[in-house]
Chains A and B, each alone.
Chain A
Amino acid sequence: MKHFIVSLFILSFGIIHAQNCSLTLLGEIKDFHDATPIASATIYIKHLDKYIVSDFNGKFKIEDLCEGEVTLVISHIGCETKTVTVMMTGDQFKSIDLEHHIEELNEVAVKGSAIRKESKTAQESVLKTKTLEKYSALNLGDALKEVSGVSSINTGNAIVKPMINGMHSSRLLILNNNVRLQDQEWGIEHAPNIDINAANQISVIKGSGTLAYGGDAIGGIIVINPSRNILKDTLFGKTIVGAQTNGRGYNITSSLNKSYASGWFANVQASYKRNGDFKSPDYYLTNTGLKSIGVSVSAGRKRFESGFELFYSYVDNEIGILRASHIGNVNDLVTAINTQEPLVVEDFSYDINSPKQDVKHHLLKGLYYKRFKNFGKVTVQYDYQRNQRFEFDIRVGDDRDKAALDLRLQTHTLTTDVVLDAKNEYRLKFGLLGRYQDNFANPDTGVRRLIPDYERYDLGAYLTSEWDVNENLLLDAGIRYDFNRIDAKKFYQTSRWNERGYNEDFASIIIEDLGTQLLTNPVFDYHNISFATGLKYLLNEDSFVSANYALASRPPNPSELFSDGLHHSAARIELGDLRLDQELSNRVSGSYSLKKNGLNILVEAFYNHINDFMYLQPVGIEQTIRGAFPVWNYQQTNAALYGVDLSLDYRLSDAFKVANTSAFIKGNDLTNNTALIDIPSFTTINQVKYVNPKWNDFSASLKSEWVFEQNNFPDYNFETFIASANETVLVDISTPPPAYHLLHFYSDVNVPISEHTNLNIALSVNNIFNTNYRAYLNRLRYFADDLGRNVMLQLQLNY
């Protein structure tokens, strides 16, 4: 096409040769953002094959031009090269804008190379494609543990919820391609509906330093970005096929990206994952199979001045839950705790039976942006999410195959973001958000609704700014306001309503009295202010320090407000509280980073003080026909969490590298002067890595994972009377399991197949010594050991 235009041009030039050839073109080259003149830009006059340079004021002059088209190619260091065609009919003046922030533009950055950071002063770590590909067969939560200070709270091995500095669920925001995930994240056994194979890069931000996404990130923010598109004609893709011995699992994922120099692009990605029952060192973990499907497609046009994108993703996870963890009452729990092996152990099977969950998540997004001269960039985005969650319990009779929980959560969000980057010294960003959410709890389950029908309205506005004070110092600050309204229709058992004392405090919200049940209409409004500020100071070329302060405010989630019922695998009654108010977090943090002579050190410390921290606490015992159950209430207290995360790596030689990541954290309930529950214990991971580029990029690494015993825990043990044995026993649900140490191995090679195709072969062994262990933060630790040895082979073809 280019050659065609050039020859056409030459042709036309030939034709008009005899015409007026004394025309002058005056030009001026300016920065797109702030209209400052750009000096020393190179201007290539195509048909003359001649170069000229703009003067100090960005001006240039070309004389003795003939009538007709003149094509100029303008380039400047740090700018996007621009081609301009001017039709010469007389003397002309032409103003040309160049984009001077090319390094910040992801639209033109080369795939997978430059790291895109979400923030400048917050504690942010980025996981790149290469790292994520190692976790193709696993979960988001598994991959994030690469970051020091990130752990997970699990229900078995397939339900892995990320935890940042001891916080999880509603205290973390997860953004998938700039859409805040709305997937009933309040539930501890609700894993994020993310296909890790759709992610190209993941940022983990500790704390709520980035207000653009929300003001309630008391723990942190996880930003998942799909692959970027390059502004050139290209087609590339990759396919990963893997198999693992534990669970006899297999997985395949494939993606294809097509883009054009004109800015048009289209991507498609799909993955499938399947495994049967996992195995602990000594026995199969019956009913822990998994079936997972993920699909994502996107298309659009991205250019410097404007662009749009349409994105759709679908995730369907069917996850079996350890059969032995489904129990009826406290006596069953006592039996389970006292029995070393789970009570139900069967032969290996791919079947996924009850108890299980089946969750389908659709996400649809449309985005449009436009840049304005001397102003900045305006982005408008609409997204729709539909989360359908089924949970199947062990039931009898006609209800056997009926879901016990059937929730459908639909969310519509409209956001507008404006970035003002016309000035070099500071950047200003502001935005607005409107969200409507509708939860529908299907009554056909024949089980009282765990979470009621509700509608939720969110409105938000934020303003953030960054100043480059001088070459070494950068400051940022932001403020955000969010309004939330939750409007629910909830049935209460009359006995529960009275026991909670709601008959005195909330009598006015009853809209129907059905005798044993009351229909109520709780409507709550929350006003939240959040604030963040930070600085980053370059000490010298190799090191920097940064500090951050953030105030975050989180309203209670539906579970904290409305939970009302028996939780089977925990054998406890969990109750929400309508009286709960927002929790408020004040988090200060500081980091130090050094990169010198093959040594990288990053130390991150934080102190998070949370007023009115919402948590579940046992408050008593209730008798039912099934036996006695402890009652756990959502309560509020003042809490403090503090800790230090360390990442360190050192290149011993060209071939050998050692690395360490360690995380230390403490969580205290300041009001009751006890420890907080479910806080990760001290963990240290050491790694030795050998690389040899001559052997097809061969690498081999040995990783030691040492998890200490958690000695700081609240004592929530209780006594129960075992009628059949006529004795009272202590139910020890609090004592954490002992420390454990695991060794893992990973090795890979890259085999070039052709110029654009290469094959990566990776072999890994997890838990090499088949060590028996139970993790404190696995909710099924009462019932079974964790996973035994797992050998994985993965082939990745890049083309």
Chain B
Amino acid sequence: MKTLKLLIFTLCVLPFAVSCSDDDDTPPPVNEEEVITTLTATLTPAGGGTAITLQTRDLDGDGPDAPVVTVSGPLAAGTTYNGSLELLNETESPAESINVEIEEEDDEHQFFFQATNSIATFAYVDFDGDGNPVGLEFTLTTAATTGTGNVTITLRHEPAKDAAGVSDGDISNAGGETDIEATFAVVVQ
């Protein structure tokens, strides 16, 4: 009976002996690799003049802070602008350009440009290996009349570039996933 008691005691105490290991390793931080924090559209008047920039900047990615959207100034009516986009990941130092990645996989990416109140029209300048538009380079032509409206720039990953209207810049049938969607309030004067 004595050995029995001892055995039971040992068995009962055993479970409490497991919880003793501990390691105080500090895990390394993770810097998001695929975050796009900043989109800058630089619009240079085709006939020369001061460039206008549209920028959205969201330094905390999916965090709670809203993106900071800036428009450097009004656009001139009846003018064609040469546009170029720059995408950055500013969580890394120095900031990493995402343009390279998009250029390398240009068949899987497409930008879409839309304007409300018919304040502007857009045309693609750069194309992928299949002759489908990409949109890192584009032209923006403002309406002849003055007005205000919203310009929306959307980046879709793996869109259906062959779907109806997509190569003309119509987003309706594009599908894919939205990587960027930024809206800028623009004044045409």
Identify the A interface with B (CB < 8 A).
Answer: 326-329, 331-332, 335, 343-344, 372, 375, 378, 380, 394-397, 399, 412-416, 418, 432-436, 441, 443, 445-449, 452-453, 455, 457, 459, 489, 491, 493-496, 499, 511-512, 514, 516-517, 519, 565-566, 573, 622-627, 629, 723-724, 726
- A434 pairs with B11, CB closer than 8 A: no
Name the CB-closest residue of B to A332. B178
Q: How far is the CB of B154 from chain A (nearest CB, A)?
A: 7
B134 within 8 A of A: no
Name the CB-closest residue of A to B61. A624
Complex interface: chain B residues within 8 A of A328 (CB): 156-157, 176-179
**Interface-located stretch among B42-50, B62-70, B120-128:** B62-70
- A566 pairs with B30, CB closer than 8 A: no
- A495 pairs with B30, CB closer than 8 A: no
- A625 pairs with B180, CB closer than 8 A: yes
Name the CB-closest residue of B to A331. B178
Of the A-B pairs whose beta carbons lie under 8 Å apart in the complex, a sample of 10, sorted by A's number, is A394-B177, A395-B34, A396-B34, A414-B17, A434-B16, A447-B34, A448-B32, A489-B26, A493-B63, A499-B63
- B8 pairs with A418, CB closer than 8 A: yes
B82-140 contacts to A, CB under 8 A, are 91, 101, 104-105, 108, 112, 114, 116
Residue of B25, B64, B160 touching A622 (CB-CB under 8 A): B64
- A495 pairs with B63, CB closer than 8 A: yes
CA A499 – CA B63 in complex, angstroms? 9
CA A168 – CA B26 in complex, angstroms? 33
- A459 pairs with B181, CB closer than 8 A: no
**A375-B4, A446-B32, A724-B114 known; A512-B15 Cβ under 8 A:** no
- A432 pairs with B19, CB closer than 8 A: no
**A332-B178, A622-B64, A723-B181 known; A448-B30 Cβ under 8 A:** yes
- B18 pairs with A414, CB closer than 8 A: yes
CA A457 – CA B20 in complex, angstroms? 9
Q: How far is the CB of A533 from chain B (nearest CB, A)?
A: 24
What 3 A-B pairs have minimum CB-CB distances, sorted nearest first?
A: A434-B15, A328-B177, A328-B178
Q: How far is the CB of A394 from chain B (nearest CB, A)?
A: 7
CA A675 – CA B183 in complex, angstroms? 37
Name the CB-closest residue of B to A496. B63
Residue of A395, A459, A511, A519 touching B19 (CB-CB under 8 A): A459
- B15 pairs with A499, CB closer than 8 A: no
- A573 pairs with B27, CB closer than 8 A: no
**A394-B177, A726-B150 known; A416-B12 Cβ under 8 A:** yes
Residue of A434, A449, A512 touching B18 (CB-CB under 8 A): A434
- B11 pairs with A416, CB closer than 8 A: yes
B56 within 8 A of A: yes
**A343-B175, A565-B62, A625-B56 known; A723-B30 Cβ under 8 A:** no
- A566 pairs with B62, CB closer than 8 A: yes
CA A326 – CA B180 in complex, angstroms? 15
B33 within 8 A of A: yes
B168 within 8 A of A: no
Listed residue (A441, A452, A623) with the most chain B CB atoms within 10 angstroms of its CB: A623
Q: How far is the CB of A152 from chain B (nearest CB, A)?
A: 28
- A394 pairs with B158, CB closer than 8 A: yes
Complex interface: chain A residues within 8 A of B32 (CB): 446-448
Complex interface: chain B residues within 8 A of A436 (CB): 18-19, 21
B164 within 8 A of A: no
B188 within 8 A of A: no
Residue of A329, A380, A434, A517 touching B181 (CB-CB under 8 A): A329
Indicate with 1 or 0, residue by residue over B164-187, a CB within 8 angstroms of chain A CB atoms: 000000010001111111110000
- B152 pairs with A443, CB closer than 8 A: no
Residue of B7, B59, B171 touching A516 (CB-CB under 8 A): B59
**A332-B177, A443-B28 known; A412-B18 Cβ under 8 A:** yes
- A327 pairs with B177, CB closer than 8 A: yes
- A459 pairs with B33, CB closer than 8 A: no
B54 within 8 A of A: no
CA A287 – CA B150 in complex, angstroms? 37
B162 within 8 A of A: no
Complex interface: chain A residues within 8 A of B181 (CB): 329, 331, 625-627, 723
Name the CB-closest residue of B to A393. B34
- A723 pairs with B34, CB closer than 8 A: no
Complex interface: chain B residues within 8 A of A453 (CB): 25, 27
B142 within 8 A of A: no
Complex interface: chain B residues within 8 A of A565 (CB): 62
Complex interface: chain A residues within 8 A of B141 (CB): none
Complex interface: chain B residues within 8 A of A378 (CB): 7-8, 11
**A416-B14, A491-B30, A493-B63 known; A625-B37 Cβ under 8 A:** yes
